Chains A and B, each alone.
Chain A
């Protein structure tokens, strides 16, 4: 999997087959010491969870992705530097030919919402419905990437050296 920054921010979830439940990283746990049995099982409908650990506060956004894209089995939110910076610009990103097969023609940016709130879910939900891409930039918040497996994540688009760097240069900085 491409290098991603998962310290205390960002979260990852996975599901199998027809998604009615998914596993997600817990809230407020150090990723360095996280073990498999600390992942939290969350129901797609109602977002109920089992166990003593709370799921990530962004579980609602992950559920939205699974609902909108039934073939998706993995979702990641990463606040990596390039994705975060591009999310501030607010425009949809036109994808160059090199990346179009993986990403489609554009990566949309959802409008700002406080993290962990329904307002953010609403903004992300809008772009998930309107665009058939495996990635969404969330304004001031980072990138949401999803696919059928972790290998299908388009996270490599964002770090320096990736396709995003070319686009970033065009913005004049």
Chain B
């Protein structure tokens, strides 16, 4: 849906103006994001109707996508916490998955999809619970501070990129 190349941002969406506006605002507010894709699976659309956040059920989701992902309406004028998250779910539209590259965004998308299934599984299995709140934040913090840095370093990304995305 969007790709940043230096200072230039290209938007490829033909979707509604309100969705495009959300994407633009994400790109403006999240300077470390160079790529956004939209994933509109059946599971994500279902989750998008059922609350204000998608909690983390799985540790890789907490680390890479964020401790939780906010669900907003398409007409929203505000969202929060994107500094510490790499996805945003738009109700009835799908998940905006962000990354420092197309590959990173696809990794986030796969995790949002998996966690959406987990959330739906939780509707029918009482024992399926989200991860503890503090644990998810700790996982994300450790991942961003240590692990993501190493991955970017190994992929030859620059100093700026080393602190952003995976």
Contacts and interface: CB of A to CB of B under 8 A. Distances in A.
Interface in A129-173: 140-142, 171-173
B148 A171 contact: no
B151 A88 contact: no
A114 B135 contact: yes
A79 interface: yes
Interface string A23-34: 000011110010
Interface residues of A, number: 27
Q: Is the interface of A mostly helix, strand, loop or mixed?
A: loop
Contacts of B121: 85, 88-89, 171, 173
Interface in A65-116: 79, 81, 84-85, 88-91, 112, 114-115
Contacts of B135: 114
A54 B153 CA distance: 13
A54 to B, nearest CB: 8
B59 interface: yes
Contacts of B151: 8, 28-30
A7 interface: yes
Given A33-B155, A171-B124, A81 B117 contact: yes
Interface of B: 57-60, 63-64, 107, 110, 113-114, 117-118, 120-125, 127-128, 131, 135, 138-139, 146-151, 153-155, 166
Interface of A: 5, 7-9, 27-30, 33, 54, 79, 81, 84-85, 88-91, 112, 114-115, 140-142, 171-173
